[in-house]
Chains A and B, each alone.
Chain A
Amino acid sequence: MNVAASVSSSVDARLPAPMGLLLDRSKTVQFEFEGQTIQGIQGDSIGSALLANDQWLWSRSFKYHRARGPLTLSGHDGNTLVQLADEANVLADRTAADNGLVVSGQNVNGSLAKDKDAFLNHFGRFMPVGFYYRAFYKPKGIWDWWEKHIRAKAGLGVVDLKGQPEYYDKAYLFHDIVVVGAGPAGLTAALTAADAGAQVLLVEENPILGGSLTYADFPDHADPESLRQQLIGRVEAHANIRVMTSAICNAWFTDNWLPVLQGKRMYKVRAKECIMATGSYEQHVVFRNNDLPGVVMSSAAMRLMKHYAIKPGQEAVVVTGNDDGYLTALQLHRQGVLVQAVVDMRAAADSQKLLFDVEELGIPVLFESTVYEAVGGGDGDRVTAVDVRRIREPGKVADSSKMIRCDLVCMSAGYMPAYQLLCQAGGQLSYDDNKAEFSLRNLPEILHIAGSVNSIHTLDAVMADGQRAAFQALSALGMGSDQPLPEVACTRRMNYSWPIFPHPKGKDFVDFDEDLQSKDIVNATRLGYRDVQLVKRFSTVGMGPSQGRHSALPTARLVSKATDRTVTETGVTTARPPLVAEKLSYLAGRMFDPYRETAMHHRHKALGAKMIPAGTWQRPAYYPANIGLSIDQNSQPTRQNRDDCIEAEARHVRSRVGVIDVSTLGGIELRGPDAAEFMNRIYTFGFLKQPVGKTRYAVLTSDQGVVIDDGVACRFRDDHFYVTATTTGVSSVYQLMTFWNTRWRLNVDITNVTAAFAAVNLAGPDSRKVLETLTDLDLSAEGFPYLACREGKIKVPGSFSDTTDIPARLMRVGFVGELGYEIHVPSRYGEALWDALMSAGAAFDIKPFGVETQRLLRLEKGHIIVSQDTDGMSHPGELGLEWAISKNKPYFNGKRAVDIVMKRPQTRKLVGFTLPAELVKQGKKPEEGHIVLSDSSATSAITGHITSCEYSPAVGTIIGMAYVGIQQSEPGAQFPIRVEGGQLVNATVVELPFYDPEQARQEM
């Protein structure tokens, strides 16, 4: 084929204007389909460009690999799914043709034209409905063999595993009224609402406004295009209307929460009132080979002509159950198509004028007749003729046949409301036997419908219905008039009651997506699946890309007849979001992933710290650079690297001085005359008599008597406490405090100041010497003793534009068991504090240490970490915290439960244990979570687990804490631990702390 000549003809052969509403004829586009060059016109879809090049074979069907081409040309069916180089399952009739696209057919073994799996079409009787549920599982285990073969055949399209992520995001939109669908009803509704002052969002799935006005002809309106121009002119000029085209409202959620997909963004639309003017789906006629390329909906042929200026065939047959078929025949004739016949399933046309117009053109009209079978030239070829027969009774035809030559069959069996979004909103479908169509009822009060989705079909009535719906919505918004709502009715009958003509040889498709024939639906009911929901699950009807748009109505009819029920009783299957296939990128795009950084965060990174998450915070675990290692943030250090870093940092803190960022610690400020009373009611200790300038350990228990948080309470004034909390627990503690103070109404102000303070722990024998260079406070053991707290200034040498003093709160704490000072400063000064300490500490060889090192240091001191060494059952008695429970006060949070659980016989206890150091090299060091056993026998019971365990350079052994059975908890007792690989090691219970039991070092 001469490509250039073909290209030219595909463009030149278009119908003259006004056909081709979507086209910009001054520009062409060129892309590749199945290795062939396809040229189209700007505005073409991939599909229309293919048809302009006489390419009617687009894809292969799911089960039988039958040749498939366009059906609706509106993006509403699965026949049009094609493969792009980087994307599967692209709707050819919705996606714009663009230069450079590489397009191919889907579900093909070999090439689209010569599909090696096309033979499956002849094996349909071996693949009856639900065959895959009843095959492949016997004998036992055979599924494993079948699965790989079935998986190789199943699925549509190929995912590009090398694809690069694209930028998708989300945004909210807020409007008084959202109108979904910009056909005549939607346009009228939007204008009516906007004229009354409402802020309106008009959502249209197509690239242009107008809906059916863009392609349909109407018996009651001669010039739909001028009407469309008039309406959209007003809409586009209206200040109160925002228009979104090529936008799909993909679901309806409670309170009119509407996800609207447009481009690469999901709009999360909030509408006070919503008007669905979503139109209706034209329905097909069920006859043998109704899926051949060239057999299309009447509306598809109209779209082809009016949107894309493509003459859809040379010789056409129109099979219809309503007058729209006549309008299609007339338009086909006007565009030069030889209409061989109008095959009308009815006994007579509704409009005598339309009948007269058609017959006057010499087009034969065959009443009470149907297409019984379409005939094609061979696999992949287009329809060549139809077998037309008289209808004897519903679904049955006469034996005599009339073959009519044609390359185009237009079907118009009626319409199905676009019900999916409305049923998601709780709407119910009921079937009108007289009109043979479904209608919707029981919609939420904030949701309205208008136009053909509301079973209104004549154009004037459709527009009046749009206006009515707008009035209804305006009234709900308090923006309407007092006038009664106009009555809108439509008596036009659009649906033929039984457009289903089963053929003994089958291939009379009800559901094109799933290759389901009429007998498949009936057989499902005969197998006992009488409910339409069960029919769906057994047969998969409605589960394909079309989601029942064309199969729901014939399925309801077939099931109702087979089960001797009404169509209303039978109903349709549940419609669930999303309406159309939704790319995961819409959901995954632009996710928010908050993080929190301490004021010193970048200093840690500059020092090469290995960072670890702590909630949304990032904290330095340890600093490999301290021992000369350089470890990339994204790489995982070896266990040995980690242990070496931690040991080095721990030795340094014990021998010199170290500093750790503890800014993530929670901080709560309590101020007011009742601050002490409040503290006393919340925490377990007594706080009424806590001296000013002193700290006190604060334990918080829950209503179940479980230890849920701990911290240090500093009293700076009679009416001022500053209490710390755990990094991840502070929000809950603050919430609990404010909850109780709402009840108690004490005169105290409570503020969560976690982010307001940056803090460090300066620890080690030389910490006093470092701090002395930066403050005028008396840091002597007498002037600032262990467990004291002070307010003061950190003096920072240097030239700064604001100040040289940093206000600070200091407390002497012993968490790591050395002389140490926690220094809390307003967060804006945090980085400067770090710099000052590192600078002042240089003379004392100060080094930073991380959270992992701190965990080892506190373990050596036997200090628990709430949530690491505690669980949801840990009461103070199990943790050895009896000393922190005041027995002299009537109440604290959780007191009653604490009293109860402490009086019960204790079954376990948290103890310290040691193990020989050589177990580290043998790979037998216990890890957190390893289980503790009652004994070493094969029948031993689990009595506890390890909560903390490390090798301690200060002690020279492995040390740890574990829950053990109460009988195992006495110092000197031994208990087995099951470590990695199932081996047992015997640990010895020891008194805590492991290090410096005289507390001499922290109190120096």
Chain B
Amino acid sequence: MTQSTESLQPDNGQFWAEAALSRSACYRRTAVAQPMLAAGGQQLPERFDPQDVERAKKAGVLDLSGLLRAGYRGAGTPELLGNAGLPIPARPNLAAAGADGDWVLRLSNTEYWLLGSLTNRGETLAKLPGLDACDSGCLDATPDACYPLFCMDSHGWLMLTGEHVSDVMAKLCGVDLREEAFPLGSIAQTSLARINGIIVHQEINGLTAYSILCDNASTDYLWTALIDAVQEFDGGPVGLASVVG
């Protein structure tokens, strides 16, 4: 299957993402997929068609913006992570997977972002304190010098999967993201397709996966850039089910 970069209107004219108040910035692009619920009741694309799995193995593009993610900054953050039983990567620009499949991204000495587990759809992270960064009361829920960040809203979350991830990224990004130079758990905070992005090398059920966190307002743009880039590898959009079964 190939998909153009144009938005796809569902047959019934109703976008499934609108069943929730919380919506991905590029939900129109995944309108033809079957939806599924994430923790918190947000909607995610589960499956586009029977070829999802094959596409995911080659070069799949997944919109995970509806899946829970959180961020904390400040000297008090390791205490919060420790209390939650989450791993603390040894240095900035490294990521580590938690026991439930959550990922902890260390972006600087004191800044950590957390990506919800694809397997339990963010359930573990939902228990963390101060998730509602918009509420100034969140500061009371976290340790001293631990400031909740806004990455659920400031950044969209796209994922690139399959054997061609580094080939696809080579079309978008000037950083060497081949596996030998960018091993599992590496993070690149860089520019791709002329926007800022945070790229994380993960592995999901044995499948190579690069999470890309980008400016939320640019998520739709990056989706089209990625879909265009994966075409030559017989890739395309995929649902969450294609990577977690």
Chain A residues at the B interface, C-beta cutoff of 8 Å = 169-174, 199, 268, 270, 590, 592-599, 602, 616-617, 663, 669, 671-672, 716-717, 719-720, 747, 749, 751-757, 791, 796, 800-804, 806-809, 825-829, 831-832
Nearest neighbor of A808 in chain B, beta-carbon distance? B134
Q: How far does the alpha carbon of A791 sit from the alpha carbon of B74 in the complex, in Å?
A: 24
Given contacts A720-B136, A802-B41, A832-B23, contact A596 B176 (CB under 8 A): no
Q: How far does the alpha carbon of A174 sit from the alpha carbon of B21 in the complex, in Å?
A: 44
Q: How far does the alpha carbon of A829 sit from the alpha carbon of B25 in the complex, in Å?
A: 10
Asked if residues B19 and A717 are in contact (CB atoms below 8 Å), the reply is no
Interface SS majority for chain B:
loop
Given contacts A598-B217, A751-B150, A755-B216, contact A803 B21 (CB under 8 A): yes
Asked if residues A720 and B134 are in contact (CB atoms below 8 Å), the reply is no
CB-defined A-B contacts under 8 Å, sample of 15? A174-B181, A594-B193, A594-B221, A616-B218, A751-B150, A755-B155, A755-B216, A756-B216, A757-B153, A800-B19, A801-B37, A803-B40, A806-B21, A826-B134, A827-B25
Q: How many residues of B contact A (CB 8 A)?
A: 53
The residues of A that contact B133 with a CB separation of less than 8 Å are: 756
Asked if residues B134 and A802 are in contact (CB atoms below 8 Å), the reply is no
Q: How far does the alpha carbon of A617 sit from the alpha carbon of B218 in the complex, in Å?
A: 9
The residues of B that contact A594 with a CB separation of less than 8 Å are: 193-195, 218, 221
Asked if residues A804 and B21 are in contact (CB atoms below 8 Å), the reply is yes
The residues of B that contact A171 with a CB separation of less than 8 Å are: 167, 170-171
Chain B residues at the A interface, C-beta cutoff of 8 Å = 18-25, 28, 37, 40-43, 65, 73-74, 132-137, 139, 145, 147, 149-150, 152-155, 167, 170-174, 176, 178, 180-181, 193-195, 215-218, 220-221, 225, 228
B131 to chain A, nearest CB (A): 11
Q: How far does the alpha carbon of A794 sit from the alpha carbon of B174 in the complex, in Å?
A: 43
Which of B23, B43, B145, B170 sits near A172, CB closer than 8 Å?
B170
Given contacts A720-B136, A755-B153, contact A800 B25 (CB under 8 A): no
A605 to chain B, nearest CB (A): 11
Asked if residues B154 and A599 are in contact (CB atoms below 8 Å), the reply is no
The residues of A that contact B65 with a CB separation of less than 8 Å are: 828
Besides the known contacts A751-B147, A807-B132, A828-B24, 19 further A-B residue pairs in the complex with CB atoms under 8 A apart = A169-B171, A173-B170, A174-B176, A268-B174, A270-B176, A592-B193, A596-B215, A671-B147, A716-B136, A720-B136, A751-B150, A754-B154, A756-B154, A800-B41, A803-B22, A807-B134, A809-B134, A826-B152, A828-B152
Asked if residues A828 and B193 are in contact (CB atoms below 8 Å), the reply is no
A797 to chain B, nearest CB (A): 11
Which of A597, A719, A753, A831 sits near B154, CB closer than 8 Å?
A753
Given contacts A171-B170, A825-B134, contact A717 B139 (CB under 8 A): yes
Asked if residues A756 and B225 are in contact (CB atoms below 8 Å), the reply is no
The residues of A that contact B194 with a CB separation of less than 8 Å are: 592-594
Asked if residues B174 and A172 are in contact (CB atoms below 8 Å), the reply is yes
B69 to chain A, nearest CB (A): 11
Q: How far does the alpha carbon of A169 sit from the alpha carbon of B152 in the complex, in Å?
A: 33
Q: How far does the alpha carbon of A617 sit from the alpha carbon of B20 in the complex, in Å?
A: 25
Asked if residues B150 and A802 are in contact (CB atoms below 8 Å), the reply is no
Which of B41, B154, B171, B220 sits near A803, CB closer than 8 Å?
B41
Nearest neighbor of B42 in chain A, beta-carbon distance? A802
Asked if residues A801 and B41 are in contact (CB atoms below 8 Å), the reply is yes
The residues of B that contact A720 with a CB separation of less than 8 Å are: 136, 139
The residues of B that contact A268 with a CB separation of less than 8 Å are: 174
Q: How far does the alpha carbon of A597 sit from the alpha carbon of B43 in the complex, in Å?
A: 20
Find the residue from A170, A174, A807 having the highest chain B CB count within 10 A: A174
Asked if residues B21 and A829 are in contact (CB atoms below 8 Å), the reply is yes
A626 to chain B, nearest CB (A): 24
Find the residue from B42, B139, B150, B178 having the highest chain A CB count within 10 A: B150
The residues of B that contact A617 with a CB separation of less than 8 Å are: 217
Q: How far does the alpha carbon of A804 sit from the alpha carbon of B19 in the complex, in Å?
A: 11
B27 to chain A, nearest CB (A): 9
The residues of A that contact B137 with a CB separation of less than 8 Å are: 791
Asked if residues A755 and B215 are in contact (CB atoms below 8 Å), the reply is yes
B93 to chain A, nearest CB (A): 18
Asked if residues A826 and B150 are in contact (CB atoms below 8 Å), the reply is yes
Q: How far does the alpha carbon of A791 sit from the alpha carbon of B132 in the complex, in Å?
A: 12
The residues of B that contact A172 with a CB separation of less than 8 Å are: 170-171, 173-174, 176
Asked if residues A828 and B154 are in contact (CB atoms below 8 Å), the reply is no
The residues of B that contact A716 with a CB separation of less than 8 Å are: 136
Q: How far does the alpha carbon of A595 sit from the alpha carbon of B223 in the complex, in Å?
A: 12
Asked if residues B154 and A602 are in contact (CB atoms below 8 Å), the reply is no
Asked if residues A828 and B150 are in contact (CB atoms below 8 Å), the reply is no
Asked if residues B153 and A828 are in contact (CB atoms below 8 Å), the reply is yes
